A and B are shown apart, each in its own frame.
Chain A
């Protein structure tokens, strides 16, 4: 059997005496979409930060593409093919949309001409090919989220980590974005997807990992997760678990 694309084994992250993530293990196969859900403060973003090298993990290991990437700097992680987006968007505010995406594209090419081509292609995929010259900082949140996705894709990733990419978007925008993510998977990129919108997660994901208070509460197919009493309890409170 082939090794999974991303494998996390007993990962923990403590801030002082506070365990933001403790002993979490899961793996992501190639070309899969894995949903990472959990109540606020359950450690989802911290987990992303540990996987991508923004926080050093307190213990445990992260394997990506058969390499131990634990403790590796974020830029190296990206160049190996694992790229993330941000819950609070981080556009390169003073640059144009095209320049933002080109910056991502320079991860895989030295040539400005080639980077421009890749950027245009990604902007077309994301449906922003008509606004390439606008300044990124001036965009509404929906476009900023899309821009960040395009910029991440321009790096040519094998695995995309999306942190609440649908947060703050309306229904139509969310539907559009879910279609785009499905398209990304079709082209061979695996996705790990932090999301609060359960409907979106269950429709899109092949597998779901549930975190609660930094620990893994459950993992399985969407149908298993939605009928898991512990998950229902975590989300809705114990009173609803027998309903």
Chain B
């Protein structure tokens, strides 16, 4: 466990020094911020999905609730930024509590199904209310926080990094405490867990609320960073699924799996979007710009990152049940 704390500290120090090497490169900074955000979201999801084994297919609801609550409060009231983020946490925790309180009375796949339903209710509500800007979305202008330059990328890089490190620290604390053993027992066998005195209902709800609260903060930071949110960006089922895939591909139920998954998938999405494969082939002279292969790659692959995620997920589930992180672990365990 001390080793893992050292790992988190080393990661934090390394990641914190990146901006100083990088200088002013907004393109790379944007990719890194997205990576940190997906890593935070996947780590947060991992607490309820990976440790407690309760697959939430609606984590976008918490992310989006954070984004909307914070944005609305920032634009319509004079409340200070940290309080706006706090309000987001409160709102999303309430949604998590309501969902969990009802659905965790049932077992099996009901929670997964209900989480989709709740997320869709939240999405449709946001889509039709006036205060959320409806389908047009919400523009966030004129925000300040202390003397931070909120037009630069740096504050957001550090904010997301802080969130990720906090999420990792909470995960590590939970995993090695009584709560962690209880969550893992629930994942492995609910009847056995109950026979050992574990209150299934209570601990599943606890896991969901902690997970939801962390996902909310990611949403709040994202909204202030992008300055524009709409339901398709922050409340979509696609985002919920990307969070799950990131965790599964990286290594579900592990500390570093979600981080690894985010690093890989965000890079991959970017490579696909910019048609990196096609460019490489052209630049290395294997194909010409006019070749049908290049035009196929350019026209199709760029929009196919979710498809590629899906294929990787299937391969991971079939061959790497512990995700890509499991590749490195296999030797240690036996």
Contacts and interface: CB of A to CB of B under 8 A. Distances in A.
Interface of A: 52, 54, 73-76, 78-79, 83-86, 90-95, 99, 102-104, 106-107, 109-112, 115, 151-152, 155
Contact of A92 (B178, B192, B194, B200): B192
Contact of A107 (B176, B191, B196): B196
B195 A99 contact: no
Contacts of B189: 90-93
Contact of B196 (A99, A110, A151): A151
A93 B177 CA distance: 19
Given A103-B181, A115-B178, A93 B196 contact: no
A57 B265 CA distance: 52
A183 to B, nearest CB: 21
Contacts of A111: 178
B184 interface: yes
A155 B181 contact: no
B197 A78 contact: yes
A104 B178 contact: no
A75 B203 CA distance: 12
B188 A155 contact: no
Nearest to B187: A94
**Which of A85, A90, A152 neighbours the largest number of chain B CB atoms within 10 Å of its CB?**
A90
Nearest to A81: B197
Contact of A94 (B188, B192, B193): B188
B193 to A, nearest CB: 8
Interface string B164-205: 000000000000111001101101110111111111100000
A75 B181 contact: no
Which of A78, A92, A152 has the largest count of B CB atoms less than 10 A from its CB?
A92
A103 B191 contact: no
A148 to B, nearest CB: 8
B177 A112 contact: yes
Interface residues of B, number: 20
Given A90-B189, A106-B178, A112-B178, A84 B195 contact: yes
B192 A107 contact: no
Given A94-B188, A104-B197, 4 more contacts: A75-B197, A78-B197, A112-B176, A112-B178
A91 B192 contact: yes
B186 to A, nearest CB: 9
Contacts of A73: 194, 199
B322 to A, nearest CB: 10
A140 B193 CA distance: 21
B195 A106 contact: no
A110 B195 contact: no
A94 B326 CA distance: 14
A90 B178 CA distance: 20
Greatest chain A CB density within 10 A among B182, B189, B194, B195 is at B195
Nearest to A107: B197
A99 B180 CA distance: 11
